[in-house]
Chain A
């Protein structure tokens, strides 16, 4: 299972773009990159998943370079409600067995 490394915390002002980078040097060929968001005392919420290049949805964008050893979650124009912990996970999207390792994530604080 590929290990991921993210910053422990980040601060931002409302309205700014926030980029959270995750490094996963040992990513395997079949691994996908998935990001979750978690508010205190709630279950994590799926944000976005990608395999390579760029993925965009209504919430965020995910940028993955060609070597796939890192990925960047981009949150456009953050608001106070985006204050949460963000987890980067790497794992297979197949029928083989694996366990997701959430780690400690990145704690994002958005202030006015």
Chain B
């Protein structure tokens, strides 16, 4: 069974640009979570999607947004990139609110 897959692995953008990160959950999982992990810090919860709806949101500005598609895959969009958005963005999936399984992440670098 395939795990959670994220793309791209690395993404380099300049300040002010937009970034789109993608996540495919484990087959059968309906919930997708996004986390941000800045260098040397713990994971900060960003967004939670379940059955196509946004269920919960962390303490991040509105320029962080996303969506979940009918096949349960998800996109995270970050608009008007700032230098401090440079981080590892992790996606996790689960069945309902059970154990979360993580992908390898997308390393976003904002120059």
B67 at the interface (CB under 8 A from A): no
Q: Which residues of A contact B43 (CB under 8 A)?
A: 44, 87, 100, 102
Asked if B104 and A103 make an inter-chain contact with CB atoms under 8 angstroms apart, the answer reads no
Q: Which residues of A contact B97 (CB under 8 A)?
A: 91-96, 98
Asked if B105 and A42 make an inter-chain contact with CB atoms under 8 angstroms apart, the answer reads yes
Residue on B nearest A101 in the bound complex, by CB: B45
Known: A99-B48, A101-B45. A43 touches B58 (CB 8 A): no
B88 at the interface (CB under 8 A from A): yes
Interface size on B, residues (CB 8 A): 27
Contact with B along A22-61 (1 / 0, CB 8 A): 0000000000001000000111111001000000000000
Bound together, the chains give a CA A94 to CA B36 distance in angstroms of: 24
Known: A93-B97, A93-B98, A102-B35. A43 touches B90 (CB 8 A): yes
Contact with A along B6-27 (1 / 0, CB 8 A): 0000000000000000000000
B63 at the interface (CB under 8 A from A): no
Interface size on A, residues (CB 8 A): 24
Bound together, the chains give a CA A91 to CA B92 distance in angstroms of: 16
Asked if B102 and A41 make an inter-chain contact with CB atoms under 8 angstroms apart, the answer reads no
Asked if B42 and A100 make an inter-chain contact with CB atoms under 8 angstroms apart, the answer reads no
Asked if A100 and B45 make an inter-chain contact with CB atoms under 8 angstroms apart, the answer reads yes
Bound together, the chains give a CA A43 to CA B89 distance in angstroms of: 9
B64 at the interface (CB under 8 A from A): no
Most A CB contacts (10 A, CB to CB) among B100, B103, B107 go to B100
Q: Which residues of B contact A100 (CB under 8 A)?
A: 33, 43, 45, 100
Q: Which residues of A contact B33 (CB under 8 A)?
A: 100
Q: Which residues of A contact B105 (CB under 8 A)?
A: 41-43
Q: Which residues of B contact A (CB under 8 A)?
A: 4, 33, 35, 41-45, 48, 55-56, 58, 88, 90-92, 96-105, 107
Given contacts A87-B43, A102-B35, 19 further A-B contacts (CB under 8 A): A34-B99, A43-B90, A43-B91, A43-B92, A43-B103, A45-B102, A46-B99, A87-B42, A91-B97, A92-B97, A93-B97, A93-B98, A94-B97, A97-B56, A99-B58, A100-B100, A102-B43, A102-B44, A105-B42
